[in-house]
Structure 1
């Protein structure tokens, strides 16, 4: 603006503040009425193009740990059901497979921590507000029952005939049931652990991740049971596999169809390829489970391998989506600005209702 002498002058500070206030709330009011603003939408950017969030430093051991933990939990549930319904081959497969997955899971967790003593240090405290602390204690409480039930399956016949062997076999059922009671918590706590971080792709899917992980755990355990047990005893595994596969696929689709920008992390890049492969294998395994797997041992084994591979790829795809969402500032900045615009529009609407 210029004065009467033609010399350009800066606008007064109070007028500028009023203009900014009017533009801000005027834009919010127009957006609230469904009108398009003539002003260009600002573009997001970060300092020197660097990520807003620090990407997770976890390596491949973490998604592998997520898979083996879920496999162990699902196998414990399947083994307990087989024990109660008189299916010894399926019970043996579930107990041994569950304990083997638990050993692998513990090793992967210690490898990720860097030093074995760090796992011991995690047991020095118990914090109910920390998913990692709660999950560690679930893992510790789950382990003895799973291990005892697995050892009972490995006893040779002469040892079973002796007094110590008979006592151990009698303790195997309550041990297996105790592991089964803790199995749902073991399968789901890793989803809570991821969703309580600042990683946008994990935090945004916090309501779906527990269903995704538990469904994936059920499908993988069923796949292991179908792979190791004869079809005559694998009926519960087939039913669990169909239910788990359906829950996994539905939860994955719900994550991808959430409103906003963040779900794009699951449908682009490497995460998309991993999740597409996972869905294809899971659906193929589920289809074979309810059809040819009932009559053919090779078909049952192929269906079990498909469910196992689909579950593993689902965990790696979810992990990759989280890492990708921390590398692009858009996944942080755009949702924040959308929430601010929504709040401004709501505030403007309240002002309009209050002023006659």
Structure 2
């Protein structure tokens, strides 16, 4: 076992009213935990910071306790059969440098050994091949039941889920794909690098008007990562019997009291639209199918993980706040300097 004396965790110290700041967090030092029988001690090497963390800050996260999050760790000591020192595992005890987890278990302390895929970078396992990509795949194949030729709109299209939706939808044979983003540079990235047919900066006007220009014949399906005005605009432009997969509402997380319901909600009835929320935890059984679908495209280079990687655990709060401000393109990740580039079997 590698000798490590102390560990660090990030803890939330207060509830934010609006946009969080560094004052809402504290880095806390403590002893490295000891693994019990059936568990392993891991040193975390790659962390995910996600929009849903902001929503959890309002009450789901306990104050003055280590935060949770999707993470990849390297096993330092194992007391669990089938898991060896040096293995890489996925678990949810993130926002800390070390954790004790239980291989094969469900729940907060459960861990899953990463299956190595030749040529697939480690960052893919927390982005397009991880929960982010699985969310996109579930939204498209289960919630929207996307058909070849369907025209699709994606909000926050330059973010983690948005970029994954764009790439996967193209592989599934989508027709016209339109995205919204928060800057001209991101708009250009969507059309030049990610295969979107059209994109717009949502700061340039009402979303409904901008979307109608980008998709003058309407859209069949919408993946909503923003809520609010984006949802209202999509309802305006959706054709009859259109479908909406509602993944998140990042546009409202930092605006307490903002109305979630669009003003044209009754148009869902008038157009016979279907709106359904997406919770990836309800579709864990789809993971094998998803990996079989996507891994060959990652190995061939047809799909490349879209990530913004910040180095150093000490910068995880800055990375999280930067993600909320839209400073990332693709999935925002934090990597330890010792993080490997790939998973080795």
TM range (shorter): under 0.3
Normalising by structure 2, we get a TM-score of 0.23
* Greater RCO, 1 or 2 (C-alpha within 8 Å, sep 6+): 1
Larger Rg: 1
Give the structure with the larger helix fraction.
1
